[in-house]
Structure 1
Amino acid sequence: MLAIFLKTLPFFLVIGTGWLAGRTRFFPPEATGWLTKFVFYFALSAMLFRFAATLDVASLFDPAFVLAYLSGSAALWALGFAVARWRRQPLAAAAMEAHTAMTGNTGFLGVPMLVVLLGERAIGPVLMVLTIDMVVFSTLITLIVTAARQGRVRLSTLVPLLRGIVSNPMIVSMLAGLAWAGLQLPMPGPLDEFLALLGASATPGALFAIGASLAGRAAERMGPALWLSFAKLVLHPLAVGIAALAVFGVEPYAAGVMIAAASLPVAGNVYILAQYFGTAVQRVSAAILISTAASIATVPVVIHWITKG
C-alpha cells in the first residue's frame, strides 16, 4: 500500500505545486488559462494520437466493457439525480449534480497517471472511458439542461452540440490515431519523436494546470459538495466495479483500469459546463476542490486493490 502511495504521490505533488503557484499568484489565472489551452490542444492531443496509433483497433472495442461502464455510471447518475431531486433541486441543477457525481478527470489526470501506474495495456480502456464520458454523458447533460430551460430540445441546440463533439481536440486526436492504426500506416521516426516530445509535456503541464485552477476555487456549499465527492471517489468505482465484474464479466485487467478511471476526482470541465448553464456552480466548484484533495488518499487505495488482484 505504501509503495502505491509513493508512486501516486509525485503526480499529486505537481498538482500541489500548481496550486501553490496559483494561490500566491506567481502563476496568475491568465497564465493558467493559456497553459490549459496548450495542454488541451497540443500536448495532450499529441499524447492521445500517439497512444491511439499504437493500438490494435480490432480488439479495442469490447461490448461488455462499454456496457459495464455505461450501466455503472448511469446507475450512479440516476442516484445523484434522485438525491438532488429529494433535496428539491430544480431539474437542471439536479442533472448537473448527477453529472458531477460520475464525471472524472480522465483526460488531464487519468491518461497521464494510469498509463504510468498500470502499464501501456491501460491505454485502450482509458481511452474508451474518456470517449464515453465526452460523447455520451456530456451530450446527456447538455440535452437535459437545455430541455429543462426551453421546455424541449430544438435542432438549433443539436447542431452546435454535435459541432462541439467533433471539434474536440481530444476526440479528433483519438480518432485520427485510431484511423492511423487501422490503416496500419508506418510511424516515421521524426514524427514519432515529435509526438513523444510534445506529448511528454502533457503530464506535468496538465497536473500543474489542475493545481493552478484549484487555487481560485472556494469550498462553499460544503454539504452537497461532500456528498458529490463521496459519490465520485467511492460510489462511482464501486458501481462500475460491480457492473464489470459481477454483471458483464469484463476481463479483470480491463475492469481494473475502468475502476481506476472511475475513482478519479471530478473533472474540471464540469465546472465549465456549470458556469455556461449558470446552475450549481458553487457546488461543482467545491466538489472539484474537495474530491481532488481527497483523491490523494483514495486513489492509491483503489490502485493497490487493483494491482493486488
Structure 2
Amino acid sequence: MLPVFLVTFPFFALIAAGYGAARARILPLDAIPGLNTFVLYFALPCMLLRFGAGTPIGQLLDGSVALVWGICALAVVAGVVAFTRNARVGWNDAAFGALVAAFPNTGFMGVPLLVAILGAQAAGPIIITIAFDLVVTSSLCIALSRLDGAGGAGRHGAMLAARKALRGILVNPMPWSILLGVLLSAAHWPLPGPVERTIAMLADAASPVALFTIGAVLARSALLAREHDASAAVAEAMGATGRMGAAKALKAPWSDVLPVVAVKLLAHPLLVWVLGLGAIALGLPLSQPALVTIVLVAALPSASNVSMLAERFGADNGRIARIILWTTVIAFPSFPLAVSALRG
C-alpha cells in the first residue's frame, strides 16, 4: 500500500496545488482557459501520439478491451440516467450526471499515473478507453441531454446535439492524435529526430500542467458557485423575481450527488472487473494485465472537462462540479486501495 501511495501522492499533490493557487487567486481565474487550451490542444495530444506510436498495434486494436469497456460504459450511462431522473433532474442533468459517472479523468490523470504504476504496457488499453469515451460515451450523453423537449422536438434536439457532438469530435485533436499514433505503430514509422524531440517535450509537460489545471478548474467551479449563491441570496431579498432566481441557484441536494460519486468510484470499477472476469471465463482473449488496467481506469475520478460540457449545454454545472470534486477527493485514498487490491 505504501509504495503505491508514494507513486500516487505527487499526482494528487499537483491537483491540490492547482486548487490552492486558484482559490488564493495566485493563479487568475482568467488564466485557467489558457491552461486548458495548452493541455487539450498541444501537450495531451502529443502524449497520446507518443504512447500510441510506441505501443504494439495488437494492444491498440484489442477488441476484448473495447467490448468490455464499451458495455460497462453504456451500462453505467443507462443505470445513472434511470435512477437519477426525478422532479428536479430532467434529461439534461441526468445525461451529464451519467457522463460524469462513466467518463474517468483518463487523459489528464490516468495516462501518466497508470503508466507510472503499471508500466508502458498499460498505454494500449488506456488509449482504447479514451477513444471510446470521446467518440461514443460523450456523444450518447450529449444526445440524451436534448430529450427534455416533448415528442418530435425532443428527438429533433437529440439529432442536433448528436451532430454537434460529431463536430466536436472532428475538431478535437485527441482522437486524431490517437489515430495518427495507431498508424505510426502499424507502419513502424519512426518520427524524424527534431519532430520526435518536439513532441516529447510537449508530452512531458502534459502531466504536471494537466494535474495542476484539474485543481484550478475545481477551485474555479467552487468559487463561481459560491458567488452565484451569494448573488442569489441578495436577489431573494429583493422580491419574488429574486426568489425565483435563488431557487434555481440552490445547490443540488446530496441525494443528487453522492449516488453518482459512489457509481463512479465503486460500481463502475466493480462492473468492469466482474464483466472482464466473465469475458475471460467465456474464452475472450482478454489478458489479466489489460483487465487490471481498465479496472483502474474505471476507478479514476471523473473527467474535469465534463463540467465545461455541462455549462455549454445548460445543465446544472454546480452539481457536476461537486461530483467531480468529491470523486477527486475520495480517490486520493480509494485509488491506492484499488491498486493494492488488484496487484496484491
**TM interval, short-chain normalised:** over 0.9
Q: Percent identity?
A: 36
Give me the TM-score of the superposition, normalised by structure 2: 0.85
Q: What amino acid is the match of 2:291?
A: A
Aligned residue number for residue 308 of structure 2? 272
Q: What amino acid is the match of 1:173?
A: S
Aligned residue number for residue 227 of structure 1? 259
Indicate if the aligned counterparts of 2:47 and 2:200 stay in contact, CA closer than 8 A.
yes
Deviations 1:181-210 (A, max 9, x none): 222212322222221111100010000000
Q: What amino acid is the match of 1:208?
A: F
Please state if 1:283 is matched with 2:292.
no
Unaligned runs of 5+ in 2: 226-250
Aligned residue number for residue 240 of structure 1? 272
Unaligned runs of 5+ in 1: none
Aligned pair in 2 of structure 1 residues 160, 97: CA closer, same or farther (>3 Å)? closer
User: Take 2:333 and 2:58, find their aligned partners in 1: how far apart are those partners?
Assistant: 37
Aligned residue number for residue 13 of structure 2? 13
Please state if 1:40 is matched with 2:40.
yes
Please state if 1:119 is matched with 2:119.
yes
Aligned residue number for residue 151 of structure 1? 154
Query: Which of 184, 189, 201 is the equivalent residue of 1:185?
Result: 189
The DSSP-based 3-state class of the residue aligned with 1:89 is: coil
Structure 1, 130-139 or 92-101: larger mean CA deviation: 92-101
Structure 1 position 87, deviation (Å): 6.4
User: Take 1:284 and 1:189, find their aligned partners in 2: how far apart are those partners?
Assistant: 43
Aligned residue number for residue 110 of structure 1? 110
User: Take 1:30 and 1:279, find their aligned partners in 2: how far apart are those partners?
Assistant: 22
Q: What amino acid is the match of 1:136?
A: V
User: Take 2:64 and 2:97, find their aligned partners in 1: how far apart are those partners?
Assistant: 27
Q: What amino acid is the match of 2:154?
A: G
Deviations 1:263-298 (A, max 9, x none): 111111211121112123221111011111111011
The DSSP-based 3-state class of the residue aligned with 2:148 is: helix
User: Take 2:155 and 2:6, find their aligned partners in 1: how far apart are those partners?
Assistant: 50
Structure 1, 57-66 or 40-49: larger mean CA deviation: 57-66
Indicate if the aligned counterparts of 2:62 and 2:125 stay in contact, CA closer than 8 A.
no
Q: Structure 1 segments of 4 or more deviating over 4 A? A: 154-158
Indicate if the aligned counterparts of 1:122 and 1:254 stay in contact, CA closer than 8 A.
yes
**RMSD, matched Cα:** 1.8
Aligned pair in 2 of structure 1 residues 291, 87: CA closer, same or farther (>3 Å)? farther
Indicate if the aligned counterparts of 1:72 and 1:242 stay in contact, CA closer than 8 A.
no
Aligned residue number for residue 208 of structure 1? 212
Structure 1 position 251, deviation (Å): 1.2
Structure 1 position 176, deviation (Å): 1.2
Structure 1 position 62, deviation (Å): 2.0
Structure 1 position 165, deviation (Å): 0.8
Structure 1 position 246, deviation (Å): 2.2
Indicate if the aligned counterparts of 2:7 and 2:116 stay in contact, CA closer than 8 A.
no
Structure 1 position 115, deviation (Å): 1.1
Structure 1 position 225, deviation (Å): 1.7
User: Take 2:88 and 2:314, find their aligned partners in 1: how far apart are those partners?
Assistant: 18
Structure 1, 156-165 or 193-202: larger mean CA deviation: 156-165
Deviations 1:148-187 (A, max 9, x none): 3332146654443322112211111111111122222123
Q: What amino acid is the match of 1:110?
A: G
Indicate if the aligned counterparts of 2:100 and 2:320 stay in contact, CA closer than 8 A.
yes
Structure 1, 138-147 or 212-221: larger mean CA deviation: 212-221
Please state if 1:49 is matched with 2:74.
no
Please state if 1:292 is matched with 2:324.
no
Deviations 1:37-91 (A, max 9, x none): 1111111111111111112224422222111111122222222112113566322
User: Take 1:251 and 1:141, find their aligned partners in 2: how far apart are those partners?
Assistant: 30
Larger Rg: 2
Structure 1 position 213, deviation (Å): 1.0
Indicate if the aligned counterparts of 1:64 and 1:248 stay in contact, CA closer than 8 A.
no
Aligned pair in 2 of structure 1 residues 202, 59: CA closer, same or farther (>3 Å)? closer
Pairing 1:75-94 to 2, within 5 Å after superposition? 75-85=75-85, 89-94=89-94
User: Take 2:54 and 2:220, find their aligned partners in 1: how far apart are those partners?
Assistant: 38
User: Take 2:76 and 2:17, find their aligned partners in 1: how far apart are those partners?
Assistant: 32
Deviations 1:131-160 (A, max 9, x none): 111111111011112243332146654443
Structure 1, 1-10 or 271-280: larger mean CA deviation: 271-280
Indicate if the aligned counterparts of 2:142 and 2:162 stay in contact, CA closer than 8 A.
no
Structure 1, 61-70 or 282-291: larger mean CA deviation: 61-70
The count of aligned residue pairs is: 308
Deviations 1:223-249 (A, max 9, x none): 322221111011110111111112355
Indicate if the aligned counterparts of 1:217 and 1:289 stay in contact, CA closer than 8 A.
no
